[in-house]
Chain A
Amino acid sequence: MPILEIKDLSKNFGGLKAVSSFDLTLEENEIVGLIGPNGAGKTTVFNLITGIFPVSSGSIKFMGQDILGMKPFKITQLGIARTFQNIRLFKQCTVLENVRTIFHPRVKYGLMDSFLHTPRYSAEEERITEKSFELLKTMNLDDRAHLTAANLPYGDQRRLEIARALAGEPKLLLLDEPAAGMNPSEVGTLVEMIRFIRDHFNITILLIEHQMGVVMNVCERLVVLDFGEIIAAGLPEEIRNNQKVLEAYLGKGVVSA
């Protein structure tokens, strides 16, 4: 069974077709790239999958279950986690708290345990802290656990968003421009991390990215979007030489000249 199955997905904002007739099937353990020029509708696809926008038409199934019309937090609890193009951390909280917070839907103590700090509370808090540190270590952030998230450098904030997303124990991870604003050496580490995450946590990854270094290196399959429609799909080397893709990125005149 595919992890994610999107069929004939469309989204209109008034008269603007942000996404139209979008199809995508993700199999388990894949790393797939969603690319396209600015304004092609890539982030809109993420927003539709995670339930931020209502869908105009089409269907989205996650592990066989129809998730259309579900609230964002429910969809996340099913096992889809994401990061944001414009980083959205819990800024005033520490790095560790950012990660610990996401364990909440699966926390094994009730409100009364919280008020009274029962042994059940203590045991569970210890487990959550332990797991959070593991995730921070994976993303090379464990030595910054007690810093305020807002004070982290840009690259660290991006990696913290990934750590936080992983705390939700997702089956599918959506990364929205994870390499944006990173320097070349950080990008190199990021590529390694993305592969490691896929193998270590055994999850499927769909990522939006503009840096071709990342896309060509880490993605096994690419889907190219332009003006809300898929204009090409296939292996990275196929996409690299695809006429339509080159035109979409560079303009028709440039390519034919």
Chain B
Amino acid sequence: MDMGKKTKMNLGKTAVLLLITLAVYVVMKALLISSILSSYWGLVLDQALITTIGALGLCIIYGFSGQFSLGHAAFYGIGAYAAAFVSKTYGHGSMAWFLLALPVGALTAALVAFLIGLPILRLRSDYLGIATLGFGIIVKVGMDNSNRLLPVLGGATGITGLPQVAGFDIIFLCTVMTVLLTRNFVQSSYGRACTAIRDDEIAADIMGIDTTRYKVLAFVFGCALAGLAGALYVHRYPFLHPSSFDFLKSFDFLLIVVLGGLGSMSGTIITSIAWVFLLEGLRFVLGQQFLEFRGVIYALILVVIILLRPQGIFGGKEVSVMAPPKAIPASGKEGPHADPGN
């Protein structure tokens, strides 16, 4: 028997994944230090990583559990505001308070997701989309008027003077952790329960899976990641404004997850980064004069991709390091059929 063989294979994949991330980190760090990558592009890079964290959250909710959410930016915003509140009130730029503000952002978003998820997750597809869209609008209006509750939150004028303590290192670390946690969750029995709900909710229920419970679990986990992304965001960009969290931002996340391919973490990660760099890149390519064309061009790219690959760029597949090790029976040989994945 080869007990533990699969364990080793999975550890092997994790090791490769960590090696790749380490290599990426070293290269990026070198580019930043040597100023080949200007501080402006450093900022774009950080934004890309933060977007990746938030998008992986939606990837869990929509891509793997099939729960159509149009309010993801609301949880991104809730995390941002909760973390901003902690840093602005107590932190004043201290690293310890910043490190505390991160879980506060994630947990606040998770708590709100739990409370709102219980009643609305019984809705299906389009109806759930409308409910989450409505929730997003409520949150946005709440932020616009937040100064009536807590003056420090600034209301429609936003918050300025937040301590910029988040750097590339911590953002990169959070991204890697998010990728690992997401991958581990998806490859567990809990992840399989979520995927079963996505594929056929009635069948999942009748086959013994508590669908309400796992829909809420996926929603809470995904929203917690959005909250974490928001908490990082406010410590990297000095100006916090409610308009950063309106429903257009929710569409950004949705576009990334759908373009990357529903049910593909690799697709979500790569599309997040490509998307953020594409938007900034267009700004340069077009120049100030033609900036308005940006909207047309990226809309055109969207239409072309979805026409050519309606299943998304990755179409539910994963790159090898993100894919689960191929399960084989310990006792027997492999089947004659080739692995259809990657």
Contacts and interface: CB of A to CB of B under 8 A. Distances in A.
Interface stretch (A18-26, A34-42, A88-96): A88-96
B188 A121 contact: yes
Contact of A96 (B188, B327, B341): B327
A73 B339 CA distance: 32
A73 B327 CA distance: 27
Contact of A90 (B196, B337, B340): B196
Interface residues of B, number: 47
A27 interface: no
Interface stretch (A60-68, A144-152, A220-228): A144-152
Nearest to A164: B207
Interface string B188-209: 1111110110111011111111
A122 B189 CA distance: 11
Interface stretch (A7-15, A105-113, A189-197, A241-249): A105-113
Contact of B206 (A76, A103, A134): A76
Interface stretch (A125-133, A178-186, A211-219, A230-238): A125-133
B125 to A, nearest CB: 16
Nearest to B199: A90
A33 interface: no
A122 B199 contact: no
Given A114-B188, A114-B190, A147-B337, A133 B208 contact: no
B161 interface: no
A119 interface: yes
B184 A115 contact: yes
A119 B341 CA distance: 26
A50 B7 contact: no
Given A88-B200, A143-B336, A130 B329 contact: yes
A77 B185 CA distance: 23
B151 interface: no
B195 A90 contact: yes
A101 B209 contact: yes
B312 interface: no
Contacts of A89: 199-200, 203
Nearest to A96: B327
Nearest to B331: A130
Given A73-B208, A126-B3, A142 B203 contact: no
B7 to A, nearest CB: 4
Interface in B304-342: 316, 326-332, 335-337, 339-341
A117 B183 CA distance: 10
Contacts, number: 144
Interface centre among B193, B205, B206, B332 (most CB of A within 10 A): B206
Contacts of B217: 111
B6 A122 contact: yes
Contacts of A130: 329-331
Contacts of B328: 129
A163 to B, nearest CB: 12
Contacts of B193: 101, 104
Given A76-B206, A101-B196, A104-B209, A142 B189 contact: no
Contacts of A117: 10, 14, 184, 187-188
A50 B337 CA distance: 36
B65 interface: no
A102 B207 contact: yes
B271 interface: no
Contacts of A129: 6, 327-329
Contact of A111 (B187, B190, B204): B190
Contacts of A146: 326, 335, 337, 339-341
A100 B206 contact: no
Contacts of A104: 189-190, 192-193, 208-209
B329 A133 contact: yes
11 contacts: A88-B203, A92-B316, A93-B192, A96-B327, A101-B193, A104-B189, A114-B184, A126-B7, A130-B331, A142-B332, A165-B207
Given A76-B208, A88-B200, A114-B185, 14 more contacts: A72-B206, A73-B205, A76-B206, A88-B202, A88-B203, A89-B199, A97-B192, A101-B204, A105-B209, A126-B7, A130-B331, A133-B331, A144-B335, A168-B207
Interface of A: 50, 52, 71-73, 76-77, 81-82, 84, 88-93, 96-97, 100-105, 107, 109, 111, 113-117, 119, 121-122, 124-126, 128-130, 133-134, 142-148, 164-165, 168
CB-based closest 9 A-B pairs: A114-B188, A76-B208, A143-B335, A90-B199, A133-B329, A88-B203, A122-B7, A107-B189, A101-B192
